[in-house]
Amino acid sequence: MTTLSVPAQKITNSIDSAIPSSVPHEEEKFKMIAENVSIYYGSTMGVKNVTMKFPEKSVTALIGPSGCGKTTFLRCLNRMHDMTKNAKVEGKVMIDDIDLYDKSIDPIYHRRKVGMVFQKPNPFPTMSIYDNVTAGLKLNGVKDKRILDEIVEDTLKMAYLWDEVKNDLKKSAIELSGGQQQRLCIARALAIQPEVLLMDEPASALDPIATQKIEETITELKKDYTIIIVTHNMQQAVRVSDYTGFMYLGELIEFRETKKLFTDPKNELTAKYVQGQFG
């Protein structure tokens, strides 16, 4: 058991010495931009002044030790902190040139552009598989049965679940295994046809085979979606992501192309973390 206690001074130094990390890739088009985002829980600062740009149709991974704020940051990209009492978000989150935190914005409309998959599978317990996938559509007003059927088949195939459930779509969602439930949640998130997909450790509750399937899904989805994934699993970050951001104690320490971050980290802390010296 090694716990790392890096003095605050040292962190500050290492940040100063870091490559300007928010823009690893100037030439591309950005789907989402987080600018100077700070998140407070009461008086505790969970995320400190993070700036990140997410290129369109790419996978960005957020890594870092437990409690580093990566989930907190991910949730702010969808205004999920609106639901948390005492949580306060500062800064800007731009999606297609619209600031999600602008006072005049209705977050509901923009959340439909952003799908989210949570760490623990959370299918709606009283609904069938079919109803779970279509929940976001039906409750947002899509009624056409033909379209719903089409989307159900399509998204369940994308989530690699179709073959396992195509014969009992009316079955209750909570009768599925944990891995199946998580893939159902991915299908449910995809069903609202988002443009961005946020994934909070989507494979942490899954076995290696299901994990592999999810990773294949992510790679497949990259063609059409901008994906931001929080993961504890560095191999997973290497396998699926194009860009990786390393967070520590609420700060973004380094953000670069995944290959470069893992093979040639510019920051001492990043190097230690990706080499498994702490975490």
Partner 1 sequence: MSTTNEKRQEYRALFKNNVKKRLVVDKIVHIIIFAFVIIAIIPLASILVEVFKNGISAISYEFLTAIPGSIGSGEGGIGPAIQGTLIIIGLASLMGVPIGVMSGIFLAELGDNKLARNVRFFNDVFMEFPSIVLGIFAFLVIVLILGHFSVWAGAFALALIMFPIVARTTEESLKMVPITYREAGTALGLKKWVITFRIVISAAKSGMITGILLSVSRIGGETAPLIMTILGSSQFFSSMDVPMDALPLRIWRLSLLPYESSQLQGWGAALVLILVIIGINMAVRYHFANGNGIIMRFIKQGVSTKR
Binding residues for partner 1, per CB under 8 A? 1, 78, 80, 82-83, 85, 108-112, 114-116, 118, 120, 122-127, 135-136, 139-140, 172, 174-175, 185, 188-189, 192, 198
Q: Which is nearer to partner 1, 114 or 234 (CB)?
A: 114
Residue type, 29: K
Q: Tell me how far, at minimum, the Cβ of 244 lies from partner 1, in Å.
A: 23
Q: Tell me how far, at minimum, the Cβ of 188 lies from partner 1, in Å.
A: 7
CA distance 69 to 192: 27
Contact 234, 245 (CB under 8 A): no
Q: Tell me how far, at minimum, the Cβ of 175 lies from partner 1, in Å.
A: 6
Q: Which is nearer to partner 1, 51 or 122 (CB)?
A: 122
Contact 206, 176 (CB under 8 A): no
Q: Tell me how far, at minimum, the Cβ of 2 lies from partner 1, in Å.
A: 10
Q: Taking the CA atoms of the chain, what radius of gyration do you get in angstroms?
A: 19
Q: Which is nearer to partner 1, 13 or 126 (CB)?
A: 126
Helix axes 178-191, 208-221, angle to 10 degrees: 10
Q: Which is nearer to partner 1, 175 or 264 (CB)?
A: 175
Q: Which is nearer to partner 1, 230 or 253 (CB)?
A: 230
CA distance 262 to 40: 30
Q: Tell me how far, at minimum, the Cβ of 48 lies from partner 1, in Å.
A: 24
Contacts for 184 with CB less than 8 Å, ≥ 6 apart: 121, 123, 129, 132, 133, 156, 159, 161, 165, 173, 176
